[in-house]
């Protein structure tokens, strides 16, 4: 096992070098104390590997604990701006997220990512509202369908924007379930 450690020279090198020899030599005498520590090390070693292979922006990995404080803003400010981007999207549609994204995108990768996500979702909502309006122009069908589509789109926008704001306020990267990602 110690021969595999030099192949991963970064973070995993020192924890794996220290942990396996005591486990192998003292496993019989104190297996209960060593087994939980050994079980924790490979799982934590596997977690960064799976986080590194996730195809997310290189500066932000989804569900990573290190997504904040990579720019000039503090973690609290990043969470607040991320939350505002989503919540303002639920109220002002594209205007609020666009303004915050344009102002803060260079100061924080987290705010830049969440701003692009909120803008893309608001573009999707505007397209859905346009489709609902176009459906209203169809004779006979439009009179029944359009009045139902508008409230569904507006309420869905508000609910998903609130959920996005709550997740961003926790520092978690939020992805909308129905979103055309036009801005990358």
pLDDT tens, position by position, 66-122: 678 888 888 999 999 999 999 999 999 999 999 999 999 999 999 999 999 999 999
Q: Report CA Rg, the chain.
A: 24
The pLDDT of residue 18 is: 47
Residue 37 lies in a domain: yes
Residue 128 domain-assigned?
A: yes
CB 89 within 8 A of CB 96: yes
**In terms of domains, do 106 and 159 share one?**
yes
**Domain membership flag for residue 87:** yes
pLDDT at 59: 52
Can you point out the beta strands (E) in the chain?
A: none
Same domain membership, residue 30 and residue 81: no
- Count of domains in the chain? 2
Residues 94 and 164 in one domain: yes
Contact by Cβ (8 Å): 143, 137: no
Q: Are residues 98 and 164 in the same domain?
A: yes
Which of 146, 171, 175, 173 is closest to 160 using CA atoms?
Answer: 175
> Does the residue 65 lie in any domain?
no
Of 56-60, 141-145, 179-183, minimum mean pLDDT range: 56-60
Range of the domain at 141: 75-169
Q: Give a yes or no: residue 177 inside a domain.
A: no
Quote the pLDDT of residue 87: 97
pLDDT at site 41: 42
Residue 65 confidence (pLDDT): 56
Instruction: Indicate if 47 and 96 belong to the same structural domain.
Output: no
- Whether residue 62 lies inside any domain: the answer is no
Asked if 100 and 44 sit in the same domain, the reply is no
Whether 11 and 88 share a structural domain? no
- Per-residue model confidence (pLDDT) at position 57: 56
Residues 22 and 101 occupy one common structural domain:
no
Name the more confident of 70 and 124. Answer: 124
Question: Do residue 101 and residue 161 come from a single domain?
Answer: yes
| Banded model confidence at residue 39, pLDDT cuts 50, 70, 90 | very low
79 and 11 assigned to the same domain: no
For the residues 16-36, what does the mean pLDDT come to?
44
Average model confidence (pLDDT) across the chain: 76
Is residue 173 over pLDDT 50? yes
pLDDT tens digits for 141-165?
788 888 889 999 999 999 999 999 9
Q: What is the pLDDT of residue 160?
A: 97
- The torsion of the CA quartet 46, 169, 98, 77, rounded to 10 degrees, works out to -100
Confirm whether 164 is domain-assigned. yes
In a domain, 178, yes or no: no
Q: 142 and 88 share a domain?
A: yes
Are residues 109 and 155 located together in one domain of the fold? yes
In whole angstroms, what is the distance from residue 82 CA to residue 100 CA? 9
Q: How much of the chain, in percent, has pLDDT values that exceed 90?
A: 49
Q: Phi and psi of 109, rounded to 5°?
A: -65, -30
């Amino acid at each position: 096992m110690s021969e595999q450690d030099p192949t991963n020279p970064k973070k995993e090198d020192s924890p794996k070098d220290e942990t396996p020899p005591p486990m192998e030599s003292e496993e019989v005498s104190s297996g209960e104390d060593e087994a939980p520590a050994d079980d924790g090390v490979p799982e934590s070693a596997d977690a960064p590997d799976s986080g590194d292979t996730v195809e997310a922006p290189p500066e932000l990995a989804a569900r990573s604990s290190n997504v904040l404080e990579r720019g000039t803003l503090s973690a609290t400010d990043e969470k607040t701006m991320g939350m505002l981007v989503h919540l303002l999207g639920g109220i002002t549609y594209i205007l609020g997220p666009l303004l915050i994204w344009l102002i803060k995108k260079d100061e924080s990768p987290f705010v830049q990512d969440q701003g692009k996500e909120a803008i893309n979702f608001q573009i999707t909502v505007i397209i859905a509202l346009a489709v609902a309006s176009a459906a209203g122009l169809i004779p006979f069908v439009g009179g029944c369908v359009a009045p139902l589509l508008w409230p569904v789109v507006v309420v869905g926008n508000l609910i998903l924007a609130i959920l996005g704001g709550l997740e961003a306020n926790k520092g978690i990267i939020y992805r909308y379930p129905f979103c055309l990602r036009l801005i990358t």
